[in-house]
Amino acid sequence: MKRVGVAILGLGVVGGGTYKTLVDHREFYQKTQNVDIVVESVLDKNTARLKELGVPEECIAGSIAEVVANPAIDIVIETIGGVGVAKEFVMMALKEGKTVVTANKEMISKCSHELERIARRNSCGLYYEASCVGGVPIIRTLLDGVQANHITEMMGIVNGTTNYILTKMAQDGADYQTALKEAQALGYAEFDPTNDVEAFDSTYKLSILSSMAFHTKVPYTKVHREGITTVDAKDIAIGKEFGYALKLLAIGKNSADGVEVRVHPTFIPAEHPLASVNDAYNAVYLRGDALDDIMLYGKGAGAFPTASAVVSDVIYAATHSEIKYSTFKNNATADSNVKFISDFSTAYYIRLSVVDKAGVLAKICSVFSKYGISIVEIAQKGRECENSDVVPLVIITHKTKENAIRNAVAKLKVSELATVESVIRVEA
Ligand code: HSE
């Protein structure tokens, strides 16, 4: 039976889950995959963690140099995270011709093209199923399952922390800070939640997934990014009355006009399959020209769901002699011929506070009309307190250009006709 040696760099949550999965399932993989995958070496300075996981003394490496020089190691698993040390170690492994499997979305989003070129030069693989949506096999689906299609659209809930927070705000009417604290207490959100709540994590994932879906290099810097920190529970409740659910969506669209990539809080119809993805669950909804629509759903984080993705790459690399690389010409300027659309079109929900007196509505509508924005629905809600003549006014627009909305909102702000409380994009 073929024997494949692996090393694990970093025994945090995902590295630890990967170690346990590989050790516990070794015989199962021998039987089902006809391959003996052996953890030869682990590299982590945390001796308590090594002990907790029961790593045998002879498997503990002293340095990365020792790992990459070990001829018994075919595959190096990187579960350190971040770009600095992780990238340095990955480059050392690739330069020694060792296939790398990683869960590192930030490194892959920022450096995969450079790393893949090093892998190609050294005839080894670079696999990263675990970098996006944890246990959900979205990358293999894009690389294999849906290759028959032009993928025209992708919409994903790719961050569990923010989905948990928005679910709590929707279900309990909790405000953002309260829901965040609950997510932190449950271990979903980190002490410093910036990476999740400001949507950096979703942005990295969208750049990786849309590069694969659209066969083109999509740098993370091209993704329009807005997080959830300013989401008001009031809008979630009002949106519900209009038949919408609010989600942090990672949206990629590919058409003859170009590629559009954006992450922001988005209203979707309550009957959309993504609307029922709640708590810390993730899902990716794809539209292909032959396939029509599909949705993959599951756990996007956690030790074992993510280890499932890491180990699936290890098994793939251990059982295939042919290496899979990106499906477009990967050079440093691969994105220079791609047209990225920043003035995208979508529908909008706008909540204003206005003075409830004759003529105000007409003036507000004339501002929208000036910028060619067509209104689908207007609803004036009741006064928020008895002795104020200010009322909330909610406007839903037809599909319109982002810049038109920005101009109209800027005009409303200077006109003092209304206070613009929130602007939320709406996808059908
Ligand atoms: N922090 C991420 C999430 C998981 O909340 O989904 C890892 O990307």
- Is 239's pLDDT higher than 80? yes
Q: Separation of 184 CA from ligand 1 center, angstroms?
A: 13
Backbone φ and ψ for 33, nearest 5 degrees, come out as -110, -5
Distance, CA of 375 to CA of 289 (rounded, Å): 31
* pLDDT confidence bin for 342, thresholds 50/70/90: very high
* Digit-coded pLDDT (tens) for 53-63: 999 999 999 99
* pLDDT confidence bin for 308, thresholds 50/70/90: very high
Q: Which fold has domain 138-299?
A: Dihydrodipicolinate Reductase; domain 2 (3.30.360)
Q: Separation of 12 CA from ligand 1 center, angstroms?
A: 14
CATH 3.30.70.260 in the chain, residue ranges: 345-426
Q: Which of 14, 161, 162, 164 is the best mutation target for the ligand 1 pocket, counting ligand atoms within 8 Å of the beta carbon and taking the most?
A: 161
- Is 291's pLDDT higher than 90? yes
* Digit-coded pLDDT (tens) for 112-157: 999 999 999 999 999 999 999 999 999 999 999 999 999 999 999 9
* pLDDT confidence bin for 330, thresholds 50/70/90: confident
Q: Of all atoms in ligand 1, which is nearest to the CA of residue 162?
A: 5
- Is 328's pLDDT higher than 90? no
Q: Separation of 157 CA from ligand 1 center, angstroms?
A: 11
Q: Separation of 106 CA from ligand 1 center, angstroms?
A: 12
Percent of the chain with pLDDT over 70: 99
What is the model's pLDDT at position 331?
Answer: 85
* pLDDT confidence bin for 209, thresholds 50/70/90: very high
Q: Separation of 120 CA from ligand 1 center, angstroms?
A: 29
Q: Which fold has domain 345-426?
A: Alpha-Beta Plaits (3.30.70)
Residues 236, 241, 244, 245, CA torsion sign: positive
What is the model's pLDDT at position 389?
Answer: 83
Report residues whose beta carbon is within 6 angstroms of any ligand 1 atom.
Answer: 105, 159-161, 196, 201, 300-301
Catalytic residues: 205
For residues 424 and 328, the model is more confident at 424
CATH 3.30.360.10 in the chain, residue ranges: 138-299
CATH 2.30.40.10 fits 2-131, yes or no: no
* Digit-coded pLDDT (tens) for 388-403: 788 999 999 999 999 9
Strand partners for 9: 43, 78
Average pLDDT of every residue of the chain: 95
Q: Write the residue with the smallest CA distance to atom 2 of ligand 1.
A: 159
